[in-house]
Amino acid sequence: MRETISVLVYAWRMNVNRVLALWAESLTSSGSAAAQPVIGLSQRVNPAIVVIVRLALGLAGYCLSNLERFSMKHFHAAHPWAHDTRRLIACSVVCLGATLISMNAVAQKEDVVIFNNGDRLTGEIRELSRGQLSFNTDATGTIQIDWIEVAELRSSNTFEIELANGVRYLGSLRVPEEPGELNIDAGGTEPFGLSFARVVGMTEIESTFRDRLDIDLHFGYDFTKTGDVETLSLGFHAAYVSEKNVAEIRLNTIRTDRGANGGLVNQASLNFAYTRLLRDRWLATGLIGFESNSELGIDLRTTAGGAAGRVFRQSGQHRISWRAGLIRTHEEVADSSEVNNSTEGLLNLSIDWFRTTGNEFDVSSRLTIFPSISESGRYRSEFDIKLEWELFEDITWGLIFYHDFDSNPPSVDAVRADYGIITSIGVDF
């Protein structure tokens, strides 16, 4: 057993080093023919993503190394298969090669975008979101095009087109009769035109899981010498968006060291949400959350429930939505064996505003109020506002203000409000 694990660790390290070498080669020599077939990475890739991938692969290798040490400590009998190291390494290389081949497979790029000045590009339409058209070509990779700069789109692929009023259409994009409109062929009916000004979103129906996945990673550090206060924060958000469904995972941690007199304050939250997109911009959401906040006297708060809501207004520059529902809450009080179970209401308002010309600039704000149904007079609120600037492609700088309030915290020594300001650097995938 331990020899088998040792061989797997060895094969992992050898293959990881080979993959990273090939990736580095493709990044540094994207213009050469030799770099083209390697993992399909001849497109421009942000160096920060390479760093994160190296960290992830290193973490996996570290876990395997620990497993190797564990096996050497606890297993003493060698498995007969463990001696055939060459077979294991060969299998590993074959699996890796199959992965590289599958990742390198790309669809034919025959979509056409024509700009207002008459220029045109041939490639693949990925999506339209927040006033930006994602378009992929062999020469440039995936680029972002301002929606207001587009005069015409053509594609034989099927797209879901969403209008500002929430109406959705499915169809391919024919040659339009006039510039500035989509000519949609929905099949079974005559093609019809839609003005670009009415379109706020567009997604290819046959896009892959990777194309539908959006990941944000944020890291922040703040230090104040006068008060000897140090704050470390980490945020992770992943969202999978399809035609009718949105699945999200959100993790946030904040650790504040207030010096010898103030002590440590830890705050962490992990939330899962699933949203079903209904007709006329209506939404149905199910959610599960876990939270810990030493400042508010919460060792662990678990919530589960559901809500219904609606996108009140949306365009290429903003989105406003609300939700209302019920949740069940289980609270474990810090430094105590006390446990509280309650039923709460949920009222949420979300506002997003984004500028897509030049460097992207986003402002997002969330206000959620939890009026208690089982505890008279108690209510909680969570508010945050985030400003985010794009410094480079896929690299952002953010400023976050948050405020959590509990009118009747479960712990006697806990404060009623917790708030702070965080700066962070983010990477978008």
| Environment class of 211 (CB within 10 Å of its CB; exposed 0-12, middle 13-18, buried 19+) | middle
For 393, phi and psi rounded to 5 degrees? -60, 120
Q: What is the C-alpha R_g of the chain?
A: 26
Asked whether the beta carbons of 388 and 400 are under 8 A apart, the reply is no
End residue of a domain, out of 206, 236, 256: 206
Asked if 200 and 240 sit in the same domain, the reply is: no
Asked if 75 and 168 sit in the same domain, the reply is: no
For CA atoms 253, 257, 261, 263, give the dihedral sign: positive
pLDDT score recorded for residue 8: 42
Residue 56 has pLDDT above 70, yes or no: no
pLDDT score recorded for residue 91: 44
Instruction: Extract the tokens encoding 276.
Output: 């079903």
Place of tokens 């958000």: 237
pLDDT score recorded for residue 85: 39
Q: What is the pLDDT of residues 169-197, one digit of tens each?
A: 888 888 888 888 888 887 767 888 888 88
Asked if 313 and 217 sit in the same domain, the reply is: yes
Range of the domain at 12: 2-104
Q: What is the pLDDT of residues 59-69, one digit of tens each?
A: 445 444 444 44
Asked if 262 and 328 sit in the same domain, the reply is: yes
End residue of a domain, out of 206, 232, 254: 206
pLDDT score recorded for residue 227: 62
Neighbours of 3 (CB within 10 A): 20
Residue 38 has pLDDT above 70, yes or no: no
Strand locations in 258-317, DSSP E?
A: 264-277, 282-293, 298-314
Instruction: Extract the tokens encoding 112.
Output: 């056409």
pTM of the model: 0.60
SS3 content of the chain, % helix, strand, coil (to 5): 25, 55, 25
End residue of a domain, out of 189, 206, 223: 206
Furthest CA-CA distance within the chain: 76
Residue 371 has pLDDT above 90, yes or no: yes
Asked if 74 and 130 sit in the same domain, the reply is: no
Q: What is the pLDDT of residues 200-227, one digit of tens each?
A: 888 877 656 676 788 889 888 877 766 6
H-type alpha helices, 190-299 = 209-212, 259-262
Q: What is the pLDDT of residues 64-95, one digit of tens each?
A: 444 444 444 444 444 433 344 344 344 444 44
For CA atoms 71, 77, 83, 87, give the dihedral sign: negative
Q: What is the pLDDT of residues 374-392, one digit of tens each?
A: 988 899 999 999 998 888 8
Determine the number of helices (DSSP H) and then strands (DSSP E) in the chain. Answer: 5, 21
pLDDT score recorded for residue 326: 97
Asked whether the beta carbons of 242 and 212 are under 8 A apart, the reply is yes
Span of 7-21, 109-123, 346-360, 400-414 with lowest mean pLDDT: 7-21
Taking the C-alpha atoms of residue 364 and residue 249, their distance in angstroms, rounded to an integer, is: 17
CA atoms within 13 A on the CB side of 413: 8
Q: Among the ranges 119-133, 251-265, 320-334, 408-422, which has the highest mean pLDDT value?
A: 320-334
The pLDDT mean for the chain works out to: 75
Asked if 142 and 97 sit in the same domain, the reply is: no
